[in-house]
Chains A and B, each alone.
Chain A
Amino acid sequence: MALAEEIIRLRDVCMDYGGGLVLDKLNLYILKNEFITLLGPSGCGKTTTLRIIGGFEQQTSGDILFEGVNINNVPPFARKVNTVFQHYALFSHMNVYENVAFGLRIKRLAEKDIGRKVGEVLELMNLPGFEKRDIESLSGGQQQRVAIARAIVNEPEVLLLDEPLGALDLKLRKEMQIELKKIQQSLGITFVFVTHDQEEALTMSDTIVVMKDGLVQQIGTPIDIYNEPKNNFVAGFIGESNILDGVMHEDFRVSFAGRSFVCVDKGFAPEEETDIVIRPEDIKLTQAENGMLRGVVTSVIFKGVHYEMMVSAANRDWMLHNTHMEPVGQEIGLDIYPDDIHVMKKVKIVEKETD
């Protein structure tokens, strides 16, 4: 991506509803034309963050800047962002056309222009000819499209999406993920997307912000987050992982599971205790006598593309994903290569990133 411009910045934002901090000194910047996803379990503060950007909640302290201008006291109707709500929040007393035209009417556009814009956006959302339909007569997926159309017809610079796909079935959700990404790219606007679904986040995002307990755990591209999780929470939340304790002897040398491994990490204190993350698909199967570790298969589950095997080795269970299956009870060898060993500092919470 070329030198990207910043559009929104949250500076030391705290939120307290009276029962403790929901957001704890959140710092975050959002770039123009970026698809950024706030990802985390429920209660992590992701929706609160979105609502603060939208203006529906007032942060307890801290600042929000929009293109460098403080918008703390700007009410929602005056902000240059639009929101797609979790349960769509469509106006049931209006038809599809009037719903989509709502924002344009407030801007007092000429009826001719309103008609053209609504037509275009319904076309884009694959809803041509739906103008006169009642909201109640639409399926969940169609209502979802109307909600998106109603927001993007206003040509906002930033679109906020609060778990918009949560109520759709799996197949529709996957289609909409791809469609949303396409729309974002063709419109060239910033999407701030909230979800608890890590797969959804990996599929759609340019940047993922992993949150937990009101704190940012890690900010990065999907590939960064998946391959280089900053701590065991991120590793555990994104994809499946084997997380174990290790000791970093020196640069590029770590020991865990009772033996020493070569790794690609450095910069730790000598003999520092660390978390080790190994993805199930990164553990290689080999002959029992040739492996770095030796173990016995204790269970096998067929997962479609691959098998998920649990292997007992070095006094613990390992999860393996492999397209090749070894039967239960089979003695096997496990190989783990330097690139696949992720060494992480043992901290509960990673310091939040600014710049």
Chain B
Amino acid sequence: MKKKLISGPYLAWMLIFSILPLFLVVWYALTAESEGERVFTLAHLSRVFEPIYLRVIWRSLRLALISTAFCFLLGYPVALILTSRHFKRHTILVVLVVLPMWMNFLARTYAWLTLLEKNGLINHILAFLHLPAMNILYTDAAVILGMVYNFLPFMILPIYSTLYKIDHSLIEAAEDLGATPLTTFRRVIFPQSLAGVLSGVIMVFMPAVTTFVISRLLGGGQYTLIGNMIEQQFLTTYDWGFGSALSLFLMALLLITGSVLMRSRGEEGGLW
């Protein structure tokens, strides 16, 4: 009885802020205004599959995947260094990893805007070093850079926490059985950290595929991602039905990829 009481506010919260919005999204996606009434329709959903929109969706997925891959390649070694026994100042480095997250997300992204500008700091430095100027602003590269920069901590932290929890005697056992440090990493440390890699991938991929701020600031107006498109439907064209259909499609996509990732982890051999 008591347990029910305690979970009450939580359930109410879920109902108001998770279930209800979800229901509204589904409702708007599957209905249309017709003679003053809302009637069931699949028109919004079928519009999602028009080539012009599929291209945007594909583009979002591609950039998010590339960003996630970069985050993994950059983040895993950092997490390894953080847990290294030879490294004494763990907390300082962890704080350094988390520190950028204390600043406002928009401010951080704007900062990149000024850094990457034609006459920005980076090009000034390049000119000073007599190197050719770099014009990546408003390209895919800038969007990927923005995503990697903003989401890297979400890759590092879960990997760090699983690596940190690995029983050191497992590593000693592998060495004891003749494994070189490289083999130990390949056959014991990495497989043991897969759960962290998986949450890292999900925590980076999800916001990367849905972001609209990074693409708008660093990708310029013309570089539309699915996030921008959804935003546009709600704020510019007021086509809530199509916006909801896009959201629903994106949600289904993430749900499917997420469960596939989860399932593959349970199988022998794992994801990698």
Chain A 135-176, CB-CB to B under 8 Å as 1, else 0, gives: 000000000000000110010000000000000000000000
What CA separation (Å) do A102 and B179 show in the bound complex? 9
Q: Which of B49-101 contact A (CB under 8 A)?
A: none
Residues of A contacting B174 in the complex (Cβ-Cβ under 8 angstroms): 91, 102
Q: Are A82 and B169 in contact (CB under 8 A)?
A: no
Q: Are A93 and B177 in contact (CB under 8 A)?
A: no
Q: Are A83 and B173 in contact (CB under 8 A)?
A: yes
What CA separation (Å) do A337 and B188 show in the bound complex? 61
Tell me, yes or no, whether B38 is within 8 Å of chain A by CB: no
Tell me, yes or no, whether A41 is within 8 Å of chain B by CB: no
Q: Are A103 and B178 in contact (CB under 8 A)?
A: yes
With A87-B169, A91-B188, A93-B191: A106-B176 Cβ-Cβ less than 8 Å: no
Residues of A contacting B192 in the complex (Cβ-Cβ under 8 angstroms): 91-93
Q: Are B169 and A106 in contact (CB under 8 A)?
A: no
Q: Are A85 and B178 in contact (CB under 8 A)?
A: no
Q: Which of A99-130 contact B (CB under 8 A)?
A: 102-103, 106-107
Residues of B contacting A78 in the complex (Cβ-Cβ under 8 angstroms): 178
Least CB distance from B191 to A in Å reads 4
Least CB distance from B187 to A in Å reads 7
> Which one, B172, B183, B191, contacts A76 given CB within 8 A?
B172
Least CB distance from B107 to A in Å reads 42
Q: Are A154 and B177 in contact (CB under 8 A)?
A: yes
Q: Are B191 and A107 in contact (CB under 8 A)?
A: no
Chain B 170-214, CB-CB to A under 8 Å as 1, else 0, gives: 101111111110010001100110100000000000000000000
Chain A interface size range = 20 to 34
What CA separation (Å) do A154 and B173 show in the bound complex? 13
Residues of A contacting B180 in the complex (Cβ-Cβ under 8 angstroms): 77
Tell me, yes or no, whether B8 is within 8 Å of chain A by CB: no
Q: Are B177 and A102 in contact (CB under 8 A)?
A: yes
What CA separation (Å) do A83 and B180 show in the bound complex? 16
Q: Which residue of B lies closest to A160 (CB)?
A: B176
Tell me, yes or no, whether B167 is within 8 Å of chain A by CB: yes
Tell me, yes or no, whether A302 is within 8 Å of chain B by CB: no
Q: Are B170 and A91 in contact (CB under 8 A)?
A: yes
Residues of A contacting B21 in the complex (Cβ-Cβ under 8 angstroms): none
Tell me, yes or no, whether B120 is within 8 Å of chain A by CB: no
Q: Which residue of A lies closest to B192 (CB)?
A: A93
> Which one, A56, A77, A87, contacts B178 given CB within 8 A?
A77
Q: Are A106 and B170 in contact (CB under 8 A)?
A: no
Q: Are A102 and B187 in contact (CB under 8 A)?
A: yes
Chain A 63-86, CB-CB to B under 8 Å as 1, else 0, gives: 000000000000111100111011
> Which one, B169, B191, B194, B270, contacts A89 given CB within 8 A?
B169
Q: Are A82 and B176 in contact (CB under 8 A)?
A: yes
Q: Which residue of A lies closest to B167 (CB)?
A: A89
What CA separation (Å) do A163 and B179 show in the bound complex? 23
Interface centre among B175, B194, B268 (most CB of A within 10 A): B175
Q: Are A87 and B167 in contact (CB under 8 A)?
A: yes
Interface centre among B167, B177, B179 (most CB of A within 10 A): B177
What CA separation (Å) do A77 and B178 show in the bound complex? 4
Residues of B contacting A91 in the complex (Cβ-Cβ under 8 angstroms): 170, 173-174, 188, 191-192
Q: Which of B150-181 contact A (CB under 8 A)?
A: 167, 169-170, 172-180
Tell me, yes or no, whether A54 is within 8 Å of chain B by CB: yes
Least CB distance from A148 to B in Å reads 12
Residues of B contacting A77 in the complex (Cβ-Cβ under 8 angstroms): 175-180
Q: Which residue of B lies closest to A100 (CB)?
A: B177
> Which one, B169, B187, B191, B270, contacts A85 given CB within 8 A?
B169
Q: Are B183 and A106 in contact (CB under 8 A)?
A: yes
Least CB distance from A146 to B in Å reads 12
Residues of A contacting B169 in the complex (Cβ-Cβ under 8 angstroms): 85-87, 89
Residues of A contacting B179 in the complex (Cβ-Cβ under 8 angstroms): 77, 102, 106
Residues of A contacting B268 in the complex (Cβ-Cβ under 8 angstroms): 95
Q: Which residue of A lies closest to B180 (CB)?
A: A77
Least CB distance from B102 to A in Å reads 35
Residues of B contacting A106 in the complex (Cβ-Cβ under 8 angstroms): 177-179, 183
Residues of B contacting A56 in the complex (Cβ-Cβ under 8 angstroms): 172, 175-176
Q: Are A89 and B170 in contact (CB under 8 A)?
A: yes
Residues of B contacting A55 in the complex (Cβ-Cβ under 8 angstroms): 175
Least CB distance from B171 to A in Å reads 9
Least CB distance from B127 to A in Å reads 50
What CA separation (Å) do A90 and B178 show in the bound complex? 15
What CA separation (Å) do A325 and B167 show in the bound complex? 52
What CA separation (Å) do A75 and B174 show in the bound complex? 12
> Which one, B172, B183, B187, contacts A83 given CB within 8 A?
B172
Given contacts A77-B179, A82-B176, A102-B177, 4 further A-B contacts (CB under 8 A): A54-B172, A91-B188, A93-B194, A106-B177
Q: List 10 A-B contacts (CB under 8 A).
A: A56-B175, A75-B175, A76-B175, A77-B179, A78-B178, A83-B176, A91-B192, A93-B194, A106-B177, A106-B179
**Ordered nearest first, which 5 A-B pairs have the shortest CB separation?**
A103-B177, A89-B169, A89-B173, A76-B175, A106-B178
